[in-house]
Structure 1
């Protein structure tokens, strides 16, 4: 397993993280085995959110690992807050503080290593968020902070008021969903690929030393389905991935993650599989460094163009 520094935090994190959104689909025993397999493969980073299974994913995780101080010290745990499903996004100090307290209780831990604001709240009052972050840091409940699905100006606005630097921005990113790459390759071109929809977030995060965490690394669309093995929608892409996977002696899922990891921005990939065998296959990506030619061949096979 390869490790990277998470932003400016000093945390040494596995480049592959286990996303725990679907953990409640397993029994407590099987969830424990999955987490055990992750740690055996070198994964030390576990991604949660207060809304995953209405909070039950965090409780399930704590039960599965039999959470104790000795177990906790081996893990880097991240959770997210601010989505109130069907109601609003909520960056109020009161909501952030109460959400963290609830997550800590469910996870049976005294602190989170990282807390992310889950979606942008257009009613955000950055001073209030900064107060919440300061309180959580002072109380020892959260060590570092980040965001999810935010553009550079949203992060700039928040950073103006916060004492600590944001360490991560969790964004959807995969071979088929890589608008941040498309725009960078099509600068000054009058085409759809050249439309900058995210404010240049890839370059911004590199400049600010903010680690991008890639979510849904195997999905096309938002949650429309996976592109791997989808010969109807992505025949050429799968042919290329399968050929390169065979060359490296790994599976297609390992190549999909290796494509993300190859970018010099040093992205961290969040994988949400609940299958232990597939998790092991994915982790094999750490032994693969695609050549520049292979990376671009995969990119083009996804239906992309170079100007």
Structure 2
């Protein structure tokens, strides 16, 4: 059994409740990601107190733009590297291309270090593990542990939409490497539309020694907002079927008539549930909110500050704003009533006919 060197302090004592999502600087969700956009958002986010960024080598060109902005002297002198957390991912290269081999993991981490202009990464996730075999994911984790020993990576994790596969991998990592995953990332399942992460995942992750869970896409990849899902230069990639989109549109129309914002309500709901789950200092649920513009940043942080008194520091037991929760509960309930049968609807991941052994789509047998 492989042994690893002592790891740093628990990530639950370091990671803040709210994290800036770097997917907003990608072609997937933004038509023209550029350095001016990233520079403005990053500067304003840090001025507001944000100190953690989550991105991926798959979110082209997020890493390159973030690295350029973070390394510019006007920024780096004010915010040196040890004052913020950088998280990225390995393994997913394109929508239908994956490489979890140890050689690729090593290459990808070193490339991310170069792109982000840093000597170390705080967290590296294996990206979308449902598209590969469990053995491939375990080998990738082993490669990341080597890089932990080299001082290039501090904490290791895995990301997936599939809660069951994240739980299975967390158990296998504990058995094979005699240490837990530090963190897992799940998306769109601690939201107003789907709360399966809370009901089906958190207790299991905690029992397996995972100290942090990142809840990404609290707006269900932009579904829970007015104006429809975000569409970048790569087209509409959102997995929501027409019926769910229509229900979300009806919910947005309803809350707009009430003078409220569906996006703000959805974000406050996710942060409230994450706070409830972060009941002790050894287990933290953090919310990753993707931001593409200054307007989105201001709107999101306004919603965050309305419900969480200390949203940008690591867990310290600060209370939730219960008055805001009481005001939001009737609207949350109404939104879920409007969603109706689409409440807790889950997407198919990986897509039907994806073969994890061959890591490609295969033709169905007739």
Q: Same fold (TM over 0.5)?
A: yes
Shorter-chain TM range is 0.7 to 0.9
**In the alignment, which residue of structure 2 is the partner of 1:299?**
336
Please give the secondary structure, in 1, of the residue aligned with 2:174: helix
Q: Structure 2 CA distance, aligned partners of 1:93 and 1:296?
A: 47
Matching of residue 154 in structure 1 with residue 188 in structure 2: no
Asked if structure 1 preserves the Cα contact closer than 8 Å seen for 2:71 and 2:117, the reply is: no
Q: How does 1:91-240 map to 2 (within 5 A)?
A: 91-120=100-129, 121-122=132-133, 124-125=135-136, 128-149=139-160, 150-173=165-188, 174-180=191-197, 184=199, 200-207=200-207, 208-219=209-220, 226-229=223-226, 232-234=246-248, 237-238=251-252
Matching of residue 258 in structure 1 with residue 259 in structure 2: no
Q: How does 1:49-60 map to 2 (within 5 A)?
A: 49-53=56-60, 56-60=61-65
Q: Structure 2 CA distance, aligned partners of 1:271 and 1:226?
A: 13
Q: CA deviation at 1:117?
A: 0.5
Q: Structure 1 CA distance, aligned partners of 2:157 and 2:289?
A: 19
Task: Kindly provide the CA deviation profile for residues 27-82 of structure 1, in whole angstroms up to 9, marking residues without a partner as x.
Answer: 323311100111122211101111111xx321111112335585322210000001
Please give the secondary structure, in 1, of the residue aligned with 2:124: strand
Matching of residue 42 in structure 1 with residue 45 in structure 2: no
Q: CA deviation at 1:278?
A: 1.9
Please give the secondary structure, in 2, of the residue aligned with 1:153: helix
Distance 1:243 1:41, change over 3 A: farther
Distance 1:151 1:137, change over 3 A: closer
Task: Kindly provide the CA deviation profile for residues 57-109 of structure 1, in whole angstroms up to 9, marking residues without a partner as x.
Answer: 21111112335585322210000001132664333221211110010011010
Asked if structure 1 preserves the Cα contact closer than 8 Å seen for 2:170 and 2:180, the reply is: no
Structure 1 residues without counterparts, runs of 5 or longer: 1-6, 185-199
Q: TM-score, normalised by structure 1?
A: 0.76
* Aligned match for 1:66, one of 60, 66, 71: 71
Asked if structure 1 preserves the Cα contact closer than 8 Å seen for 2:126 and 2:157, the reply is: yes
Q: Structure 2 CA distance, aligned partners of 1:112 and 1:100?
A: 8
Aligned residues: 273
Distance 1:127 1:107, change over 3 A: same
Q: Structure 2 CA distance, aligned partners of 1:211 and 1:245?
A: 35
Structure 2 residues without counterparts, runs of 5 or longer: 1-8, 27-31, 229-244, 279-284, 308-320, 345-366
Task: Kindly provide the CA deviation profile for residues 238-271 of structure 1, in whole angstroms up to 9, marking residues without a partner as x.
Answer: 366458875xxxx442221110011122432222
Asked if structure 2 preserves the Cα contact closer than 8 Å seen for 1:126 and 1:157, the reply is: no
Q: TM-score, normalised by structure 2?
A: 0.65
**In the alignment, which residue of structure 1 is the partner of 2:37?**
30
Q: Structure 2 CA distance, aligned partners of 1:15 and 1:47?
A: 13
Please give the secondary structure, in 1, of the residue aligned with 2:225: coil
Greater RCO (CA < 8 Å, at least 6 residues apart): 2
